Amino acid sequence: MPNSSGLMTSTAYVELKTNRVKEVELNNKQKDLELKFRNKVVTIAPFKINCDDEKEQKVSSWKYATYTVFGAVRASTGRQLSQTRYRTDLEIFFRSGILTYLEAQRDEKLTGNVIQLQARCRGYLARSKLYKLKVQDVAVRCIQRNVRKFMSVRDWPWWRLLVRVTPLLNVYRIEEQLRLNMEELEQLKVKVEKLEQERTHLKHENDRLEAKLANALVVLSSTAEDGEIEVRISVG
């Protein structure tokens, strides 16, 4: 009897787990159906559930989606879709022709969206082309104005003189710039020579100090040796 009771308990536990697994699978299937329905009809009536949880937002109530879609269809077409033409329970059921009508509405909505997108793209391209034409028009007007001014003064004697003198002015500017550059170069050479002299002086000073240090080390070493000899003699 104890074995039979344990077997019954184990069987009940297995059945409970099986029922829970089936329930989870049913819920997942229901959520998938809700999500597919929402993604299919969201084009007809865009809506958004105010929900902080992203998962709950993705699988939000398809009943709400159904009511929203039918309300949008009624508002856009004036066609009354009474509740006798559909039912919402664990699944949604349509009478004959309703699903086809919704798909037609969806295609019409998509067509309108595509047409609107094309219109916006054409408008953007047209505005870009108009902007380029405006820039080109300003450039052409500027060139024409400068050409007219040149044609009006090209026979003017002072203009001819200016045309001949301007290159000379440029040559003078170049010569002046070269002179300034040469002066700056001479100043840099003087600075380099001073730095070289300082470097040579510091090098000699360093050599002198190193020699002095070496002599001091030699004297110190000899003094230390003499001290050791005296200590040994006194000890002996």
**Tell me: the pLDDT tens digits for 79-91?**
555 555 555 555 5
Global pTM reads: 0.41
Residue 84: DSSP 8-state: G
Instruction: Of 9-23, 25-39, 152-166, give the lowest mean pLDDT range.
Output: 9-23
SS (H, E, C) 165-211: HHHHHHHHHHHHHHHHHHHHHHHHHHHHHHHHHHHHHHHHHHHHHHH
Task: List CB contacts of 110: < 8 A, sequence separation 6 or more.
Answer: 43
Give the pLDDT score at 80: 52
Give the pLDDT score at 136: 95
Average pLDDT, the chain: 74
* Among 85, 84, 109, 107, residue whose Cα is nearest residue 96: 85
Give the pLDDT score at 175: 80
* Among 90, 37, 35, 29, residue whose Cα is nearest residue 58: 35
Separation of alpha carbons 207 and 191, rounded Å: 24
The encoded tokens of residue 162 equal 């200016």
Whether the CB-CB separation of 47 and 68 falls below 8 Å is answered with: yes
Whether the CB-CB separation of 59 and 34 falls below 8 Å is answered with: yes
Separation of alpha carbons 104 and 82, rounded Å: 18
| More reliable by pLDDT, 158 or 51 | 158
- % of the chain surpassing 90 pLDDT: 26
Separation of alpha carbons 119 and 78, rounded Å: 27
Residue 235 pLDDT exceeds 60: no
Tell the residue number behind the tokens 């902007």, with chain if given.
131
Give the pLDDT score at 194: 92
Give the pLDDT score at 54: 47
Average pLDDT over residues 31-40: 66
Separation of alpha carbons 189 and 106, rounded Å: 85
